[in-house]
Copies of this chain bind each other. A is one copy, B any other.
Amino acid sequence: MKLIRVVPYGLGPIGCATVRALLDKPGISIVGAVDIDPEKAGKDLGNVAGLGRRLGVLVSKDAAAVFKKTKPSVVTHTTSSFFKSAYDQLALAASQGINVVSSTEELLYPHLRNPDLARKLDRLACRNGATLLGTGVNPGFVMDTLALVLTGVVKRVDRIRIERRVNAATRRQPLQRKVGAGMKPEEFVKLAKQGKIGHIGLLESMYLVAAGLGWKLDKHAERIEPVIAATRQTTEYFTVEPEEVAGIKHTASGFCGKRLVIDLDLRMYIGAQDPCDRIEIEGDPNLTLMIPGGVPGDVATVASLINAIPRVLEAEPGLKTMLDLPVPRAFRAI
């Protein structure tokens, strides 16, 4: 078994969970760690990641120095949701020929909002022999890759509808806050208008599916609305009163000409009944796929990142998407 040398970059909740999961895998060596937070830099990674033991790896603010010194096979990158914010970090790895698996939501389909940056990063990666991939569970799996896979046994696709219902009460506090739990509806609507609330990556999911099917979407519509609590809802972190915001309903629709061909409907709120992921294909044949309970967000995102490592290591250099790599599957998982 070939040893894989990993540097986690970004030690927020997902980054720390990634570190803990990497330690459970055989044949993985964490050779360095990067976070810009001065509170974390200089500390042992084991303490930062909440292991209760030292790992003998110090967290550094200086990614360039860590990359140069440790020469990792791959960086697990979990710093930002936005491609533009993450660009310099990704470019640094690419320029040193270091592969990257990233949870940056916009990186799932970076050509959507920043096609020029995507091309630039792709060229840099190709030139230096690095492979970069954005993945995760949403975006990255339940509302895009899994739907594409299901179309693999369909002759004609007329329309795809993808739904995800998450009971935010079962998720960590930052997610509950992110979906607006406990806000007044007016505040939610104001923040939504300012682009300060909403699931990041929904349009990327939609455009990845379209690209995978060779569809050119002529236009799209997107809506972000509050889900209002009907009764009092209490979680470990919040109490939501009736008429307050319980969470978010974020939808996107894509059109070929005037025809609606793809529909994404994501609801994450406290008290959501019957959480589920659901994909419906209208075509020949019609198909419905369900994951009762839904794929749990955080653990699955970490799994998705780590499971992508061997496929990224084997892929041709460049900025890749889930469309380019072999079928996802668990990696050293027994």
The chain A residues found within 8 Å of chain B, CB to CB, are 21, 24, 137, 141-142, 145-146, 148-149, 151-158, 212-215, 256, 261, 283-285, 287-293, 295-296, 299-304, 306-307, 322-334
Contact = CB atoms under 8 A, between A and B. Distances in A.
A296 B303 contact: no
- The number of times this chain is found in the oligomer is 2
Contact of A261 (B146, B329, B334): B334
Given A303-B153, A303-B155, A304-B152, A327 B333 contact: no
B145 A330 contact: no
Nearest to A259: B334
A325 B152 CA distance: 12
A213 B334 CA distance: 8
A322 B153 CA distance: 13
Contact of A295 (B153, B283, B331): B153
A215 B290 CA distance: 27
Contacts of A149: 145-146, 149, 327-329
A314 to B, nearest CB: 10
A309 to B, nearest CB: 12
Contacts of A331: 214
A330 B152 CA distance: 5
B288 A292 contact: yes
A10 B258 CA distance: 41
Contact of A154 (B154, B212, B300, B324): B300
B334 A327 contact: no
B156 A215 contact: no
A152 B329 contact: yes
A212 B332 CA distance: 10
A154 B325 contact: no
Contact of A334 (B157, B292, B299, B330): B157
Contact of A151 (B284, B324, B333): B333
Contact of A290 (B214, B284, B292): B292
